[in-house]
Amino acid sequence: MHTTTERVLPMSWPDRAVERVAALLETHLTGAHWPLNVLLYSLTLVFVTTTPFFNLHYFGAPDSSWDTLLQQASALLVPYRGVPGSHDANKVFRLAIPAFIKLFNLTAMQVFIGQVMCGVLILWVMIRITFAILQDKVSTVLFMTSFATCYCSYSAFYDVFGRIDAFGYLFILLSVYVRKPALVFLFCFLTAWSDERGLINTFFTAVYWLYADTGRPTVTENRLLTFAGLRANKQVLTVLASWMSYFFIRWILAHYYGFQTETGGVGASQFSITRQFIPLAVFSTYGLVWGILLIAFALVIARRDWLMAGLLALGMTVNFAVVVMIADINRSLAYSLPLVVISLALLGQNLPGHHVRKYLFVLAVFSLMIPIYDFDSHLHYHPTLPVRLVSLLAGVA
């Protein structure tokens, strides 16, 4: 009988570290309610790394937008006239949350509580999406470690000024989570009426659904053009329908009710003010999660999927064109959340699970060591987790 002896190479220290962390995590990820453990972990990271509510004393400050929201809610068909060049002057068509305020007779504090609930739901939905894609509990925890440092993860607990972007972030994330076309339409529609930047990024929602069921459409065989593809891509069609509905209603409001968006504070003049902060603010929007987006784009290029590459490049080009013209860089770019989901799907489909786990481990470790910044015409700095822990221990001592 012929036998062979295979040489087993020793594991490298990064591999051993990943295995030990994975073994530790798996002991806490048992049972049907393990996603709740991941949610509590993610919330803990958000609270430790960004200190939510530390600026709660600014709630209701003169420069906040709560009064604007309540004024819009009191007369939904009367265009809001803000100070030209101000942030609120651009909110004329952002009627989704004022409509909810009107419908449920909400106060500013109740809307803020709803915003905080949106922050929790954003983390919960991302946990569900990540596990559905990667089918690995450990990889889900590692990704959420990095995601907790992203602006869209903590803005719901950090924004006390009535900007209410968390609602829009939740709507656009739900647009790639739900499968029923009616719900896809609803959440794209609500995203559009939450913020025009959300409307722009529902383009990524359409790209996600174009690929979610069809695998790999190409320019020469675009399944949107076949009867079979129409059934598989009815979510894409509902995204297009939400755009048409939005622009039709917007035209009615502009033509018959005098709605008009101010353009002050937007454009080349704003770029001259913010240009030195753009690279840092763009990076800090997603932090090291950008690494996932870059690997995903590299995978698209490697498999020569030029349609997908073109669609992703087009979406990001439009995003960056918007970013350089406004002051709220993080807030704007964070609406591209569906792009993160697309990137996760590409990693899950094209890389072995153990490679994905190792890569996410590296991103998770370094995400906790990089300071968090956000820019809204002023640069805000959040110390790294090690710095915060040292400061906490020093304070206790």
What tens digit of pLDDT does each residue of 11-36 get?
666 678 888 888 888 888 988 899 99
Q: Quick one: pLDDT at residue 225? A: 41
Q: Express as a percent the part of the chain with pLDDT over 70.
A: 84
Q: Is the pLDDT of residue 151 over 80?
A: yes
Q: Is the pLDDT of residue 45 over 50?
A: yes
Structure tokens at 234: 């009815």
Which residue would you say has higher pLDDT here, 261 or 196? 196
Looking at the DSSP assignment, which residues form a beta bridge with residue 380? 374
Q: Quick one: pLDDT at residue 326? A: 78
Q: Is the pLDDT of residue 333 over 90?
A: yes
Q: Is the pLDDT of residue 4 over 90?
A: no
Q: Quick one: pLDDT at residue 221? A: 41
Q: Quick one: pLDDT at residue 166? A: 96
If you average pLDDT over residues 346-368, what whole number do you get? Answer: 92
SS (H, E, C) the chain: CCCCCCCCCCCCHHHHHHHHHHHHHHCCCCCCCHHHHHHHHHHHHHHHHHCCCCCHHHCCCCCCCHHHHHHHHHCCCCCCCCCCCCCHHHCCCCCHHHHHHHHHCCCHHHHHHHHHHHHHHHHHHHHHHHHHHHCCHHHHHHHHHHHCCCHHHHHHHHCCCCCCHHHHHHHHHHCCCCCCHHHHHHHHHHHHHHCHHHHHHHHHHHHHHHHHCCCCCCCCCCHHHCHHHHHHCHHHHHHHHHHHHHHHHHHHHHHHHCCCCCCCCCCHHHHHHHCCCHHHHHHHHHHHHHHHHHHHHHHHHHCCCHHHHHHHHHHHHHHHHHHCCCCEHHHHHHHHHHHHHHHHHHHHHHCCHHHHHHHHHHHHHHHCCCCEEEEECCEEEECCHHHHHHHHHHHHC
Least confident of 86-100, 150-164, 211-225, 372-386: 211-225
pTM: 0.89
Q: Quick one: pLDDT at residue 35? A: 95
Q: Quick one: pLDDT at residue 87? A: 74
**Domain residue spans in the chain?**
34-375
Q: Quick one: pLDDT at residue 275? A: 74
pLDDT in tens, 215-242: 444 444 444 444 444 444 889 999 999 9
